[in-house]
Amino acid sequence: MADCNSNCSDCSQTCSDRTAPSSFLIQPDESTKIKKIIGIVSGKGGVGKSLITSLLASEMAKKGYKVGILDADITGPSIPKYFGIHEKAYANNEGKIIPQVAENGVKIISVNLILENEEDPVIWRGPIIAGVVKQFYQDVIWDELDYLFIDMPPGTGDVPLTIFQSLPIDGIVVATAPSDLISMIVKKAVKMATMMNVDVIGAVENMSYLKCPDCGKEIAVFGESKIEEIAKNEKIDTFSRIPIDPEISKATDAGRIFDIKEDYLFDIVDKLEII
Ligand SMILES: Nc1ncnc2c1ncn2[C@@H]1O[C@H](COP(=O)(O)OP(=O)(O)OP(=O)(O)O)[C@@H](O)[C@H]1O
């Protein structure tokens, strides 16, 4: 503009500087270089989002990538337990947080690594929780990562919204389970991502079936799989199914999720390599 004095506070013109939407994106520490940030979302808690996050991270680490997990499920953190981590994260001289590193090399930050007692409940209001998640991105020394997976809080509320607005998320993986209720709520999560201009990389149906150990027949314990229908309706081109597998509960209870041999998520993993 011809008569612009660069001081918007004493100018009433409606120029492009004033109308351009301001970005809420936050920056990580200057030593941090993250190539891809992937959120794992679910419309509803209890579908196995943390399991899917842990399996994806472990598969990518197995392929030789540098991987981190930011456990943003602040009120229900399960990631450290799945990787057998009980030590605390600590701060360096500059007050930056050093994440814990699992046996398979995956770097992890979670509220459970900073609470005095991992059984203590987190009774914080939304803005405080969102602030902690932002700190886990800004103030953690992640160094160089090929993939940072974010175990998002369930639902489409205040905290997931803040994460979508503040972190440069490259794509999401949607966690679901074979139930009508969950399928309906999944659509909300997908719509939220679309409204935030975030790509949906794929969907995973957890507890999709149980394989009979004697005859190999697939039993639809929680009802027939809905994943193909969801993928078609929501135009998601990649999906995987995880069965109910006693090896999974054994591995998570033992803190050794990286011992799971079956690559149930290979379709999603392949896609993550090319996005
Ligand atoms: N497919 C599965 N087979 C066997 N056990 C499973 C399976 N999925 C989840 N589990 C077990 O259920 C428990 C809860 O899983 P997980 O933490 O992933 O889900 P959640 O925290 O309830 O859900 P979300 O992370 O979506 O809020 C874990 O102990 C896990 O081992």
Q: Tens digit of pLDDT for each residue in 48-98?
A: 999 999 999 999 999 999 999 999 999 889 999 999 999 999 999 999 999
Task: Say if ligand 1 is within 6 A of residue 154 CB.
Answer: yes
Q: With contact defined as beta carbons under 8 Å apart, do 89 and 98 qualify? A: yes
Q: With contact defined as beta carbons under 8 Å apart, do 155 and 100 qualify? A: no
Query: Given this model, what pLDDT does residue 35 score?
Result: 98
Atom 15 of ligand 1, nearest CA residue? 48
Number of H helices, E strands in the chain: 9, 12
CB atoms within 10 A of CB 233: 13
Task: Say if ligand 1 is within 6 A of residue 53 CB.
Answer: no
CA angle 104, 96, 36 (to 5 degrees): 50
Q: With contact defined as beta carbons under 8 Å apart, do 222 and 238 qualify? A: no
Please give the distance, rounded to the nearest whole angstrom, from the Cα atom of residue 14 to the centre of ligand 1: 52
Q: Tens digit of pLDDT per residue, the chain (275 long)?
A: 556 666 665 676 766 655 555 688 999 999 999 999 999 999 888 899 999 999 999 999 999 999 999 999 998 899 999 999 999 999 999 999 999 999 999 999 999 999 888 888 888 888 899 999 999 999 999 999 999 999 999 888 888 999 999 999 999 999 999 987 887 888 888 999 999 999 999 999 999 999 999 999 999 999 999 999 999 999 999 999 999 999 999 999 999 999 999 999 999 999 999 99
Chain-centre distance for alpha carbon 54: 9
Atom 9 of ligand 1, nearest CA residue? 48
pLDDT digits (tens, 9 = 90+) for 138-166: 999 999 999 999 999 988 888 899 999 99
Chain-centre distance for alpha carbon 216: 32
How, if at all, do strands 90-91 and 67-71 pair?
unpaired
The CATH architecture assigned to 32-274 reads 3-Layer(aba) Sandwich (3.40)
Atom 1 of ligand 1, nearest CA residue? 244
HEC states along 64-106? CCCEEEEECCCCCCCHHHHCCCCCCCEECCCCCEECEECCCCC
Q: With contact defined as beta carbons under 8 Å apart, do 189 and 152 qualify? A: no
Cα(211)–Cα(221) distance, integer angstroms: 10
What letter would DSSP give residue 21?
Answer: P
Give the CA diameter of the chain: 81
